[in-house]
Amino acid sequence: NAGVTQTPKFRVLKTGQSMTLLCAQDMNHEYMYWYRQDPGMGLRLIHYSVGEGTTAKGEVPDGYNVSRLKKQNFLLGLESAAPSQTSVYFCATTPSISYGELFFGEGSRLTVL
């Protein structure tokens, strides 16, 4: 029972490079989220999706793009990485926003040099 799986778990990029983080869930949840977590700050929402084929901007969307072509997958893309995007990225899912509990992946640690 995998739950929520993020790949890759670690990545080092050079400024200007691009990459994609994959979040895969086997819980059949409609809602999926991408957060970033930086020291001393709460989780900040980057983008989210309320169902297959839908995406919406969160609190800090600049520099990121997302896609949800299949219900079970939510991709986060960095087109031109910047050092300010060095962070830990978490994917989370929930069956509905009013449910309250989020189920998280283990996180992806990204360093941009």
Partner 1 sequence: RKEVEQDPGPFNVPEGATVAFNCTYSNSASQSFFWYRQDCRKEPKLLMSVYSSGNEDGRFTAQLNRASQYISLLIRDSKLSDSATYLCVVNTREKSNYQLIWGAGTKLIIKP
Residues that bind partner 1 (CB under 8 A): 40-45, 90, 97-98, 100-102, 104-107
For residues 26 and 45, give the distance between their C-alpha atoms in angstroms, rounded to a whole number. 22
Closest to partner 1 by CB, 22 or 43? 43
User: What are the backbone angles phi and psi of residue 83, rounded to the nearest 5°?
Assistant: -55, -30
Taking the complex as a whole, the smallest distance from the CB of residue 44 to partner 1 amounts, in Å, to: 8
Closest CA to 102 of 38, 45, 18, 60: 45
Taking the complex as a whole, the smallest distance from the CB of residue 65 to partner 1 amounts, in Å, to: 21
Taking the complex as a whole, the smallest distance from the CB of residue 9 to partner 1 amounts, in Å, to: 11
| Element of type H or E holding 64 | strand 64-67
Q: Is 52 exposed, middle or buried (0-12, 13-18, 19+ CB in 10 A)?
A: middle
Taking the complex as a whole, the smallest distance from the CB of residue 88 to partner 1 amounts, in Å, to: 8
Closest to partner 1 by CB, 16 or 56? 56
Closest to partner 1 by CB, 9 or 18? 9
